[in-house]
Structure 1
Amino acid sequence: MKKRTAVRALWMVLPLLSVAVLSHAQEWVSLSSKGKLQYDTTSRGDRIMDFSYAGYKGGGVNIPDVPVRIRVRPDNANDAATIQAAIDSVSALPLVKGFRGAVLLAAGAYTCDKTILLHTSGVVLQGSGSNPKGTVLQLTGPAHVAVALRGKPVYTKTSAAAKVTMAYVPAGTNKLTVDQPAIFNQGDTIRITKPVTPEWIQFMGMHDLVRDGKPQTWINGELTTDRIITAINGNTLSLDVPLTDSYDAQYTSAVVERISTSGEIVNCGIGGFSIVSPTQTGTINDRHHQAFHISGITDAWAEDIQAYNTINSVSVTGRRITLDRIRIYHDTVTTGAAKPADINASGPQLLVQRCYIKGSNVFYIATGAKVTGPIVILNCTFEGGGWIQPHQRWATGVLVDNCHVPGGGIEYMNRGSMGSGHGWSIGWSVVWNSTAKSFLNQQPPGSMNWMIGCIGEQRQEARPFGKFPMLPGGINVSQGKHVQPESLYYAQLQERLKKKI
């Protein structure tokens, strides 16, 4: 199989980290005279996080070339069952260096009337190319997802709950202090839990959401994020990935617990084929053919896939996933005020790169509720009347880097009573050197959003549904002119790995 990479050497077009430093005031990220990244912080220590941990294996790792174990050719009769049987056979093989093997689909059209499921670690489904002469999955029958990569993780708490003792944990840090450090060990996976309290809801201004005379609930329960302890020094835990949100003891009391995981699968991938749905119309409440889902998986990828006429096409809730060269095309416009999301990016450490979507009345990229990053949207182009828009209920740690939305918008906003009370959709997130017809950048209480080096109209709006004042704008730096480094993600990745990528 041909060698493929998750990260290409953009440093051929990126300037070396030795360019002249701009005026440092209010830049938030800039290059020192020695070509090193330097970060401004708030008075409480918050900063733009290091997004370089997004992607397969935590960023900067090539997608592997996995040996083929079974080859499949189309028979135009029961292709989905034939492909599934091949996947099941490979799934029974032993792991060799983390992989069982790949199922290779020969060029041709495959009639698929049901979902093809990857359900075991170390299995890859690879086609012979996404072009019309390559591998084509032709969707038939009742609406379904073409391909699903699906684990069923169960998380078990294995320690007492240690209290976070810092009065304020700043966004972007990879350290926090706890009252019981002795219950943890280096290498432990921990879950940091931030209870959603009435005090925090009131502080965020989300206590008075009403639509059609009925109160709405923005968030309840807990906000959680998982990390691995890399070191323990006294009562300070060092974490493998920086935190995407802040923790303020004035409004909520965060705790840390060790967890173990079972039922999760790892090291899976799909790519090299197209997915063709019959033309679909209607609202998003109708059932539709979809392209692929990735859930309950750590370390996976989808690359070189073209999808035609799928709706709510891609959903990713796994961890450390790369989507590379996913292209989605629509023949018709979905009707209704509610819009589908072509890519639902709702898992930690996701990298969506070199993707293309053509369509209108869609969210090109959206996030779900309580999503923590880092999530990176890199070098993508989306054409038509649509939006990159974190969608609901407090996502944190999103970077849109060198993306182009010439007919639509990039929006970090308070959606108020839209939907079922989506409210503040995003905080502690960045748009870097991107272009769009328009931008909307709003600043949540106690948080920040940055748009740096962006070209396009900057809008200002109030909270939807009601007579509300204009919301405060987020941080805009170098509006109308790109900045250096050209790509924040690649600059951070090179600096962290101490090598060119």
Structure 2
Amino acid sequence: MRYDRWGRLAYEQDAEGNRIPDFSHAGYRNGERPIPHVPVVKTIRPVEGDNTAHIQAALDEVAALPRERRGALLLLPGVYPVAGTLYVRAGGTVLRGTGDGEDPASNTIIKATGNTPKDRDVIVAGGSAGGGWTGEVPGTRTEITTDLVQVGSREFEVASPGSLRPGDNIVITHPCTEEWLKAIDYGGHDVGPAWQVGEHPIIYNRYVREVSGNIVKIDVPVFNHLNRALSPSFLYKWDRAGLVTQVGVERLRVDVEYHGDPEQDEDHAYNAIVLLRTEDSWVRDCTMLHFTQAGVATQETTRATVENCRAVDPVSIVTGGRRYNFNAYVYSQQVLFRDCYAYKARHAFVSNGHSTVSGVVFLRGTSEYALNSSEGHRRWSQGLLFDGHKDIDPHYDYTLGLYNRGRYGTSHGWSAAHSVAWNCDVSTSRLIVQKPPTAQNYAIGCRGTITGDGPFQQPAGYIEGANQPGLVPPSLYQAQFLDRLRP
């Protein structure tokens, strides 16, 4: 990638057609509008004892208002013991505190008590898990007939555009076929169960921008080749059932109560804040402590921003399934984690959602005392960007990975494809970047030990400018964003 003579970004591709994709659509409203400051419509203060019902009743009162009159529920300073889960269910609703510090005189502290039900979430903003984006509007399915839609492409030909119109929310599916699995070496591991037909379709949640004849143009590029010879892809209009839009959590502290050894106790809440089945949602200016798995997790979520948040001091056994401080889980796309900080994580900034996760940007994230690596974690996550990531005092051999994870976990295999580490600093640790079959991963302008030598032997990915100063542009995401908005 380079700037051309007109000052626009120009992308080069290799012999397989691999190229760095455009990550600039990540975030609330694709980054094109700032997160709104929603006016306060109700204010409460803490009561004695469990505050779950107290806060939920206030949230439900806001939710009962007409959509145009909803806004923020403000929790005044103090400690709010919460023994259950708080649900921000209605679009246009924000749960807001007065600050995320430790002093209850001026900050809002959600104290998550107990473990009933076991491994619960403390705050869920959005809807209920709906199994992804499977709600197909009848009569809208059509096959993609372009032989090869290359990574980074925004248009293709379909068999019949039918009723498709600009603004339609569509789902693109690249089935997980025997031919595709064979092309990617069945996930790239020789121990443990091979990936199976149908297990890992590549799925994209997109909007139609333009329909011209049989050509459909979409808003966000695809992050993997759609090769008709390996897997005939198709699309349909999504019914958006259960989707919640314009919800947020702001300016509060979630402190999970625990007892005993912080590297043994797990009798407490699991995730602090979850964005679930949302579009155009956000979490900002929050601190989460003592969770088992995630400070913030996203699931079935598109166009979200997690900004200026701290996920610190997880309490759990130091082993698999735990300490994923900022976690893009299944069906997370166009999610921006910006200026966030993780402490004592196993996987501080991670895609843990396999082939349904793509277009996730970790911008200027800082991981301190890492006990494992930030990474694409398993089974063909695509289009991940670690931009300006920094490790401080790492306590693991490698702390950033776009690589093959082989037999780890549930035969994780190729954990990232068409993904980029840009201007990252892994300190005294290693950054591992390897090349998957049919795809590529990149490490550009990074500092530390930058290598293709991972725990499982595979070809090295594309490495350029390691430990050299003066990378231009210093931020890939910001350069792509500015380039996209230029007339």
In structure 1, distance between residues paired with 2:274 and 2:90: 15
- 2:275: which partner in 1? 294
Q: 1:461 aligns with which of 439, 442, 453?
A: 453
Shift of 1:372: 3.4
- 1:195: which partner in 2? 175
In structure 2, distance between residues paired with 1:34 and 1:448: 28
In structure 2, distance between residues paired with 1:490 and 1:462: 30
Shift of 1:429: 0.9
1:489 counterpart letter in structure 2: Y
Checking the alignment, whether the CA contact within 8 Å between 2:258 and 2:267 is kept in structure 1 is: no
2:112 counterpart letter in structure 1: L
Summarize the Cα distance change of 1:331–1:475 in structure 2 as closer, same or farther, 3 Å threshold. Answer: closer
Shifted more, 374-383 versus 32-41: the winner is 32-41
* 1:489 equivalenced with 2:470 (yes/no): no
1:340 counterpart letter in structure 2: R
Shift of 1:54: 0.4
Shift of 1:401: 0.5
The one-character-per-residue Cα deviations of 1:453-478 (angstroms, maximum 9, x if unpaired) are: 111102333664xxxxx310111111
Summarize the Cα distance change of 1:288–1:210 in structure 2 as closer, same or farther, 3 Å threshold. Answer: farther
Q: Secondary structure at 1:398's aligned position in 2?
A: strand
Checking the alignment, whether the CA contact within 8 Å between 2:244 and 2:277 is kept in structure 1 is: yes
Q: Secondary structure at 2:484's aligned position in 1?
A: helix
Summarize the Cα distance change of 1:45–1:207 in structure 2 as closer, same or farther, 3 Å threshold. Answer: closer
Checking the alignment, whether the CA contact within 8 Å between 2:356 and 2:381 is kept in structure 1 is: yes
Output the TM-score relative to the length of structure 1.
0.87
1:326 counterpart letter in structure 2: C
- 2:52: which partner in 1? 80
Checking the alignment, whether the CA contact within 8 Å between 1:147 and 1:291 is kept in structure 2 is: yes
Shift of 1:183: 4.4
Checking the alignment, whether the CA contact within 8 Å between 2:188 and 2:414 is kept in structure 1 is: no
Q: Secondary structure at 2:472's aligned position in 1?
A: coil
Checking the alignment, whether the CA contact within 8 Å between 1:443 and 1:472 is kept in structure 2 is: yes
Shifted more, 307-316 versus 153-162: the winner is 153-162
Summarize the Cα distance change of 1:44–1:231 in structure 2 as closer, same or farther, 3 Å threshold. Answer: farther
* Number of aligned positions between the proteins: 462
- 1:441: which partner in 2? 433
Q: 1:175 aligns with which of 150, 155, 159?
A: 155
Checking the alignment, whether the CA contact within 8 Å between 1:415 and 1:463 is kept in structure 2 is: yes
* 1:311 equivalenced with 2:311 (yes/no): no
Checking the alignment, whether the CA contact within 8 Å between 1:244 and 1:373 is kept in structure 2 is: yes
- 1:428: which partner in 2? 418
- 1:352: which partner in 2? 337
Q: Secondary structure at 2:309's aligned position in 1?
A: strand
* 1:404 equivalenced with 2:374 (yes/no): no
The one-character-per-residue Cα deviations of 1:202-236 (angstroms, maximum 9, x if unpaired) are: 2111278564xx63436634322121111122321
Shift of 1:123: 0.6
Shift of 1:261: 1.6
Shift of 1:86: 0.4
Shifted more, 274-283 versus 30-39: the winner is 274-283
In structure 1, distance between residues paired with 2:157 and 2:227: 13
* 1:204 equivalenced with 2:203 (yes/no): no
Shift of 1:122: 0.8
Matches within 5 A, 1:149-164: 149-152=125-128, 155-164=135-144
Q: Secondary structure at 2:353's aligned position in 1?
A: coil
The one-character-per-residue Cα deviations of 1:380-434 (angstroms, maximum 9, x if unpaired) are: 1101123211111111111111110131511011111111111111101111111
Summarize the Cα distance change of 1:284–1:228 in structure 2 as closer, same or farther, 3 Å threshold. Answer: farther
Shift of 1:74: 1.0
In structure 1, distance between residues paired with 2:188 and 2:88: 44
In structure 1, distance between residues paired with 2:375 and 2:196: 17
Summarize the Cα distance change of 1:190–1:338 in structure 2 as closer, same or farther, 3 Å threshold. Answer: closer
RMSD: 2.3
- 2:205: which partner in 1? 226
2:442 counterpart letter in structure 1: W
Summarize the Cα distance change of 1:199–1:290 in structure 2 as closer, same or farther, 3 Å threshold. Answer: same
The one-character-per-residue Cα deviations of 1:18-43 (angstroms, maximum 9, x if unpaired) are: xxxxxxxxxxx222344321211234
- 1:51: which partner in 2? 23
Q: 2:110 aligns with which of 133, 137, 147?
A: 137
The one-character-per-residue Cα deviations of 1:29-84 (angstroms, maximum 9, x if unpaired) are: 22234432121123454422211110001113111111111111112313121111
In structure 1, distance between residues paired with 2:97 and 2:186: 47
- 2:358: which partner in 1? 373
1:36 counterpart letter in structure 2: R
Q: Secondary structure at 2:95's aligned position in 1?
A: strand
Unaligned runs of 5+ in 1: 1-28, 465-469
The one-character-per-residue Cα deviations of 1:267-289 (angstroms, maximum 9, x if unpaired) are: 10011011112246467987644
Shift of 1:192: 1.4
Q: Secondary structure at 1:260's aligned position in 2?
A: coil
- 2:235: which partner in 1? 256
Q: 1:67 aligns with which of 22, 33, 39?
A: 39
The one-character-per-residue Cα deviations of 1:99-152 (angstroms, maximum 9, x if unpaired) are: 611100111111111111111111110000001231111111215322101314
Q: Secondary structure at 1:52's aligned position in 2?
A: coil
The one-character-per-residue Cα deviations of 1:350-371 (angstroms, maximum 9, x if unpaired) are: 0000100110544442321223
Summarize the Cα distance change of 1:291–1:442 in structure 2 as closer, same or farther, 3 Å threshold. Answer: same
Unaligned runs of 5+ in 2: none
Q: 2:3 aligns with which of 31, 43, 48?
A: 31
In structure 2, distance between residues paired with 1:55 and 1:284: 35
Summarize the Cα distance change of 1:286–1:83 in structure 2 as closer, same or farther, 3 Å threshold. Answer: closer
Output the TM-score relative to the length of structure 2.
0.89
* 1:215 equivalenced with 2:197 (yes/no): no
In structure 2, distance between residues paired with 1:234 and 1:450: 36
- 2:222: which partner in 1? 243
Q: 1:417 aligns with which of 397, 407, 429?
A: 407
- 2:123: which partner in 1? 147
Checking the alignment, whether the CA contact within 8 Å between 1:44 and 1:170 is kept in structure 2 is: no
Q: Secondary structure at 1:341's aligned position in 2?
A: coil
Summarize the Cα distance change of 1:360–1:100 in structure 2 as closer, same or farther, 3 Å threshold. Answer: closer
Q: Secondary structure at 1:321's aligned position in 2?
A: strand
In structure 1, distance between residues paired with 2:439 and 2:465: 20
Identity %: 27
Summarize the Cα distance change of 1:460–1:287 in structure 2 as closer, same or farther, 3 Å threshold. Answer: farther
- 1:321: which partner in 2? 304
1:444 counterpart letter in structure 2: P
In structure 2, distance between residues paired with 1:351 and 1:311: 22
In structure 1, distance between residues paired with 2:466 and 2:162: 48
Q: Secondary structure at 1:349's aligned position in 2?
A: strand
Summarize the Cα distance change of 1:331–1:90 in structure 2 as closer, same or farther, 3 Å threshold. Answer: closer
Checking the alignment, whether the CA contact within 8 Å between 1:209 and 1:217 is kept in structure 2 is: no
* 1:451 equivalenced with 2:434 (yes/no): no
Q: 1:341 aligns with which of 293, 312, 324?
A: 324
In structure 1, distance between residues paired with 2:100 and 2:445: 34
